[in-house]
Amino acid sequence: MGFFDFLNRKKPPSDPIDRIKQRWLYLSDGLIKDNYSSKINHYGSRFSTNGFETWFLGLEQRLGQSLGRRLAHAALEHQEFFLKNSGIKIPSSRDPKNWTENTLDWQTRGLGVYSKLEDEDEVRMLVESPASSPICSGLITSTWEVSTTKRHRFVWSQSSQDGLVVSLNLDHKDLPNPSLIIPLWPNTDSDSVNYELAEESWEDLRVESGGVWSIMNERKMIIHRDLILRFEEFCLPYISAIESGRQDIEWPIEDNQRKLWWTAAADSIRKVHFDSGLHILISKPDDWIGIGRRHLSIHGLGAVESAESFDDHGGVKITLKNTFHPAISGGVLLACWERAHGRRGKLKCRFNSGSVHLFLSSSVDIAD
């Protein structure tokens, strides 16, 4: 039963910390399940807001393109799909003060707080403390569209004093409802909750204000996998090459444009984690199970099921129980490998027997 299935019969937890913990369920396969969703299994990953922004800027740099608009439209499409397929009460008012369940949605995702500034020929919405300007712009536009049943064009601007202002104008386009996007890699739906991991993951959770919460003094937000998949799809038609960064990561997919996106995404998240100063010690292959717990599972990126050595220089085959996205999980583990071995590594991904396999090794051949 989803969190909102009983909202009309029972008040939600009054403590905002309890609301966050009750919504996001840590599963035994390393994913985070959204307990607000009762119709379709929605999964999310926990990012630091700074880390996500750095990853996004790195993705833009590697692909040589501005991607903010595509991220915003992916967020818009995601939110429409989420509202219509989650069990949450769909907003039906032009007054955001009446969007009670949507407000809780934003608060428990760590997105910020919104309000309406103007509702004349042009609608203007204010988002204070936005976790991500493109994402919040797309989400608030989608909610307004769903509540008014009309499409809108939108632009956004942000200043340190005024926050994020999203301006919406009526658009007479008739766009189809978004459909379900199914991941390309082997994945399964699970309801096995890992309570020990959940307790560890929420340690030092602090809610600073509505829509802003942090762990270990680092602001966090939850991003659904559905949003990332839609963002990927919005980017693909415009990708022609990788302008910078690594280009030698191997993926078991045929779409060349998607290979480029996955490579850029993996390399960008690799650099984010490598530059964070990870301290990784490896003495045997099984140590990767614990590394996966600390650097994947706590963030909802997946879990390492097994690891086995395939050379004498640190080469390891890692099998994932499940993964938020192979490019993101693979990039994180590649950063861990490079920190552990002190040299540049390479990543090969394979899908086999219903599992995702990652092969991490030195980027250059080392003589025995």
pLDDT digits (tens, 9 = 90+) for 75-133: 999 999 999 998 888 898 999 999 999 999 999 999 999 999 999 889 999 999 999 99
Domain 241-362 in this protein, CATH class: alpha beta
pLDDT of residue 161: 67
Question: What DSSP element (H or E) covers 168?
Answer: strand 163-170
Q: Given this chain, do its domains 3-170 and 241-362 carry the same CATH topology?
A: yes
Q: What is the percent of the chain with per-residue pLDDT over 90, rounded to a whole number?
A: 81
pLDDT of residue 325 exceeding 50, the answer is yes
CB contact set of 61 (below 8 Å; sequence gap of 6+): 243, 244, 245, 268
Highest mean pLDDT among 54-63, 206-215, 352-361: 54-63
What's the CA gap between 61 and 250, in Å, rounded? 20
pLDDT of residue 8 exceeding 60, the answer is no
Of 368 and 50, the one with more pLDDT:
50
pLDDT of residue 139 exceeding 70, the answer is yes
3-170 to CATH, choices 3.30.450, 3.40.50, 3.30.2010, 3.30.1380: 3.30.1380
**Inter-CA distances, 128 with 110, 159, 195, 286, 295, Å:** 12, 10, 33, 45, 30
Q: How confident is the model at residue 9 (pLDDT cuts 50, 70, 90)?
A: very low
Q: 9-13, 117-121, 268-272, 363-367: lowest mean pLDDT where? A: 9-13
Q: Is the CB of residue 166 less than 8 Å from the CB of residue 156?
A: yes
User: What are the sequence ranges of the domains in the chain?
Assistant: 3-170, 241-362
pLDDT of residue 1: 39
Q: Is the CB of residue 246 less than 8 Å from the CB of residue 63?
A: no
Q: What is the pLDDT of residues 161-209, one digit of tens each?
A: 678 999 999 998 887 889 999 999 999 888 899 999 999 999 999 999 8
pLDDT of residue 4 exceeding 60, the answer is no
Q: How confident is the model at residue 368 (pLDDT cuts 50, 70, 90)?
A: low
What's the CA gap between 79 and 138, in Å, rounded? 8
Mean pLDDT of 266-289: 95
pLDDT of residue 6: 38
Q: How confident is the model at residue 147 (pLDDT cuts 50, 70, 90)?
A: very high
Q: What is the percent of the chain with per-residue pLDDT over 70, rounded to a whole number?
A: 95
Q: How confident is the model at residue 366 (pLDDT cuts 50, 70, 90)?
A: low
